[in-house]
Every structure is written in structure tokens, then in C-alpha cells.
Amino acid sequence: MDVQITPRRLSGVVTPPPSKSLAHRWILAAALAAGTSVVKNVAFSEDIEATLRCMEALGASWEAAEDGLRVAGIGGERRPFGDLPQFDCGESGSTLRFLIPIVLTVDQGGVFTGRGRLMERPQQPYFDLFDRRGISYALEGGALTVRGSLSPGEYRLRGDVSSQFFTGLLMALPLLEGPSVVVSTTKLESASYTSMTMGVLARCGVHVRWSPALNGFGVEPGVYGPFEETVEADWSQAAFWYAAISLGSNLRLRGLKGQSAQGDAAVVGHYQKLALTGEVKINLSDCPDLLPPLAVMAAVRRGTTRFTHAARLRLKESDRLATVARMLKALGGAVSEEEDGLTVYGVSTLPGGVVDGANDHRIVMAAAIAATRCQGPVVIRGAEAVKKSYPNFWRDYENLGGAVHVL
């Protein structure tokens, strides 16, 4: 789907969708719990639908409940060995990386498939662990097959590729009969996401502790208890509406939790920095998903903005450093691309133009917000990509006064 946006400022009140990061964790925790759990305020984005499919393949079941889901978990029990289950992860990196170690505790392995760039995204931290532990794996024809079982012990892996590997292990290892340790052999980036995971585990009665001395986590064996929780609003999606405010729209956001475990709540501080003039430097190591909306804020500010420590963005749904740069240039912005970041040179106006959405939900949303400040029309190719994380984005955009025409 291609859309044309006629530039105009937005106005009104908007509630960002539920946190996708938290919803993945709550749903999988419910699937592993011994009993029935209720997860409220869930948005059925494509990524969440992928996790629900995979939860069913794991042996759990769910049904729609008032404002959410009712999930019957498997209790973390090992299932009889048989044919390896199939897990269609769509384009969800969280679904894939969280599930790989989980299936090695309850299913002796599985076959994982995906779409887009998903199966090209790095899994080497897991592969290195598997080599040391005698777990077989093969990535062939766009499918990853893993066979074997995890056992209690020490797990050492790099922490500068993705925190998702740590979350997968932290969710899986409590299901084993003995304690384990998960050690980061580098600085652990996006550490706020592992803090989020620990909060979910604690709510389920599973004990994981962070040890600065180890630069890692101690994991105790335990049983996931059933729970009832409401997914809080998503700060990574709220960041796009903050960008609209930065560009002159009159918006009020509601439903956000101030003291949130979501690392992307850092958008508030970055928004305030970008409201100043002069040079600003922003380290994205703990909140890389904020680059697209922050780059839009930077595009028309008075001064230069340097975004650093963002090399991991090259391995997202698109090479997000390259696609953010191309998006801004297509609209008339000034930006230079570096190996691990971007430098955005503020301009007074954005003429508008045609943007390739690159099958990346965050590029599409960033371009739509940038359009509110453009002088001429903005065409966005592949605008349906928002379904991956924010299926109601275009509805909310139009309700706030945005002028969107489907081509």
C-alpha cells in the first residue's frame, strides 16, 4: 500500500498502543506457567500474532478475553520426544530469539522459519553456546533447525549483539532442575530490556538476580506461576508522537507509565535535549529503536545532531542507519551516514518527496511524522509495514487531523 500525505500539523489526544516488548514477555511467561493467566491490553500486531502462533506450537492455548487474552500454560513440563515442532516467527526477532532456548528446555528442539530479513539476522551468540554444549543446529533454506537440550550451568555470550539472547536464556533456564549463570563477555547493551524481563519473571515467582561482579545473571530453578497483568503503553511508539510535538503539532499523550522499565522512555530526555540549539550528541546503545523518530526531530532543529553506538541498527527489519538516512534525504533533509551512527544537520524546511518504506514499520512511521513539517506532499511506499508493531497507526494519524490518501 502506498499513501500520499498532504502536510498539516496534528492536534488532539493519543494513547500509544500497548508495549510490544512487554506483551511478548507476558505472553511467553503465561505459556510457561502452571495454570491459566490473563494478559490484558494486547494489540494484535503482526509480531504479537507471531508469538501467539509459536505459543500454540509450544503446546499452550489462548482465547480472547475482555480487553486481552486468557492463556492456559504448559507448566514448563518437558514434552515427549517426537517430530520437531514448527515455529513460524513471521518477522519478529523477539519471538525467534526468545523461543530458541525455551524449546530446548521443553521440546528437545524445533524448526524456526520467518519472513523478510528475519532469518538473516545474527544468531551467532546462540550458535557459539550450542557448539560448546553439543546442541546441533542448521540454517538451511531459510529455516533454522535446532536439536538437543539445555542443562544447568554457565552460559557465556556477547552482550553487544542483542539483549534478546539474554532474555531467551533468562526465560528458559529457570525451567531446568539446577541453578545457572548467564555471563556477558562484553558490556551488556540495551540492559533495560533485560531489566524488563527480570520484572516479568519476578511477577511469575521466578528468581533471577543481576550480579555486577559477574557481569551477568544468577538464575534459580523455579515454576512459573499464573498471573493477571495489564500491558502498559509503548514508549517506543510514543516516541513518534513526541517527534510530531517537536515538529510543531499540538498533541497530548496519555496512558504512559512514568516509572517504566522500558528503556525507550529515554525519549523524554532526548526530546528535551533536541529542543535546544547547537550540537547535540546522543548515544543509542540502550535505546536503538528511537533513532527514526529522534532523527526526524533532529532534521529541522537549529544545530547538528550526532547519533552514535547504533551499528546494531543495520541488522533490523532494514539497515536502519541507511534507510533513515535515505528517508531524510528524500524529504530534503541533510544527513551523513557513519559506520555506527548518523549525523543530522538541521535545516529550516523539508520540501517533501517520495520515501521508500523499506518494509520497515519504523521508517514508515518516521516519514509520516516528518510529513507534518514538509512544504509539499509526501508519498510513502509500503505504508502497510506499520502492521508489524502499530496496526492502528494510520487510524490514529487521521484521527489527529492527518491527511492520508491511499494511492
- Nearest partner of 340 among 318, 308, 367, 365, judged by Cα: 308
Residues 6+ apart with CB under 8 A from 53: 87, 88, 90
Q: Who contacts 120 (Cβ-Cβ below 8 Å, separation ≥6)?
A: none
Radius of gyration, CA atoms only, the chain: 21
C-alpha torsion sign, points 73, 75, 77, 80: negative
Give, in degrees to the nearest 5, the angle at Cα 362 between 358 and 368: 90
At residue 56's C-alpha, the angle toward residues 55 and 60, to 5°, is 80
- What is the helix (H) or strand (E) element at residue 265, kind and residue range? none
Q: Among the options 47, 107, 264, 289, which is catalytic?
A: 289
DSSP string for 136-176: EEEEETTEEEEE----SSEEEE-SSS-THHHHHHHHHGGGS
Paired with 329 in beta bridges are none
CB neighbours of 288 closer than 8 A, spacing ≥ 6? 190, 310, 312, 313, 320
289 assigned to active site: yes
Residue with cell 561482579: 213
Pairing label, strands 280-283, 250-253: unpaired
Write the CB contacts of 284 (distance below 8 Å, at least 6 apart in sequence). 290, 291, 307, 308, 309, 310, 313, 341
Catalytic residues: 289
